Amino acid sequence: MDVNRPPPTNSRIDVSLGQTRPLAMARDWLPPAGIILTALILWEVVARATRVPRWLLPTPTDIGSAMASSWELLLKHTWVTFQEVALGFAVSLIVGIGLALAIAYSKVVERGMYPFVIASQTIPIIAIAPLLLIWFGYGLVPKVIVVALICFFPIVVNMVDGLRSVEPEMLNMMRTLGAVRWQLFTKVQIPASLPFLFSGTKIAIAVSVIGAVIGEWVGASAGLGYFMVRSASQFLTARVFAAIFILSVMGVLLFAAVAISERYILPWYHTEKRQKAMARES
């Protein structure tokens, strides 16, 4: 008998295991896809049956036709809005992480800055946007600032909570093993804060699109928000819905990108979550 020969495998089992994941994905995605398709069909049927004017409520096919006929224009404005979102989110991430570290490790900074961080969210962005327009003009800068103002708050709050979530017993044990302050920070506190940071980041990236549109509504010469205002003033309602659809897709894709990045950067966190879920089910 050849002991080095690999054990025989059951091809039927291998095939079934290979098919399990696609079938599971189909079960997860088919219900929401069916709901969306049903809603679109009902929208089309009701709009046509009631003969609502197309400028008041366009049908999904009207919106699709508007997207097809204006795709070059939509692509141009989508790129402008995406730049505003990407730059504003990057600024909010850098500023948010830095501010969270300062607040978590300095009582003076916490007492001095945390009230301003909270107060920044009590002022409507639509009230700040005109001031930014006066100070910085109609270019990219005021939109980036609006996006950053909307995005940085969940990043700061969640990361501060994450840095403070480490149990004192863990820190004391590391100190008894000879760990210095920098090692406690890099080996314990940063890994513990990353799941919180990604939670805040996912919230921030989801609302970043709103900030860009608000900035464009107040004053702009390009972008999907500007495109919506111009289209609405001409009663081109199908174009407005087309811009809303693109903004929704952009927000979903950006959220998915952050979620995928989280899975690659924090594999241990998701493995632990799956193990806890399996333990609860068993």
In angstroms, the CA 43 to CA 192 distance is 47
Please check the confidence at residue 268 and state whether its pLDDT lies above 80: no
In angstroms, the CA 216 to CA 222 distance is 8
Please check the confidence at residue 232 and state whether its pLDDT lies above 70: yes
Query: Which residues does 255 contact at the CB level (< 8 Å), separation at least 6?
Result: 202, 205, 206
Of the candidates 150, 147, 151, the one whose C-alpha atom is nearest the C-alpha of residue 85 is 147
Q: Read off the tokens for 2.
A: 């050849």
Q: What is the model's pLDDT at position 21?
A: 60
Query: If you average pLDDT over residues 128-146, what whole number do you get?
Result: 86
Distance, CA of 75 to chain centre = 21
76-108: pLDDT as tens digits? 999 999 999 999 999 999 999 999 999 888 888
Query: If you average pLDDT over residues 133-138, what whole number do you get?
Result: 83
Q: At what angle do helices 71-105 and 224-233 cross, to 10 degrees?
A: 130
Please check the confidence at residue 11 and state whether its pLDDT lies above 70: no
What is the sign of the dihedral through the CA atoms of 64, 65, 66 and 67? positive
Q: What is the model's pLDDT at position 3?
A: 46
What is the sign of the dihedral through the CA atoms of 69, 70, 72 and 74? negative
Task: Specify the DSSP class assigned to residue 235.
Answer: T
Residue 250 and residue 205 in contact, taking contact as beta carbons nearer than 8 Å: no
Q: What is the model's pLDDT at position 14?
A: 45
More confident residue, 281 or 188: 188
More confident residue, 64 or 129: 64
Any idea which of 19-23, 34-38, 143-147 has the lowest mean pLDDT? 19-23
Average pLDDT, the chain: 83
Please check the confidence at residue 46 and state whether its pLDDT lies above 80: yes
Residue 144 and residue 84 in contact, taking contact as beta carbons nearer than 8 Å: yes
Q: What is the percentage of the chain residues whose pLDDT exceeds 70?
A: 86
Q: What is the model's pLDDT at position 15?
A: 44
Any idea which of 43-52, 67-76, 152-161, 168-177 has the lowest mean pLDDT? 168-177
CA dihedral 228, 230, 232, 238 (to 10 degrees): -60
In angstroms, the CA 132 to CA 4 distance is 73
Q: Read off the tokens for 75.
A: 């692509």
Q: Is the pTM of this model over 0.95?
A: no
Domain extents in the chain? 1-51, 59-281
Query: If you average pLDDT over residues 27-47, what whole number do you get?
Result: 82
Q: Read off the tokens for 139.
A: 């270019």
Query: If you average pLDDT over residues 146-161, what whole number do you get?
Result: 91
CATH superfamily of 59-281: MetI-like (1.10.3720.10)
Q: What is the percentage of the chain residues whose pLDDT exceeds 90?
A: 30
More confident residue, 11 or 229: 229
- Per the listing, tokens 């909010």 go with 92
Q: What is the model's pLDDT at position 137?
A: 80
- Per the listing, tokens 């210095």 go with 180
Environment class of 109 (CB within 10 Å of its CB; exposed 0-12, middle 13-18, buried 19+): middle
Query: If you average pLDDT over residues 222-249, what whole number do you get?
Result: 91
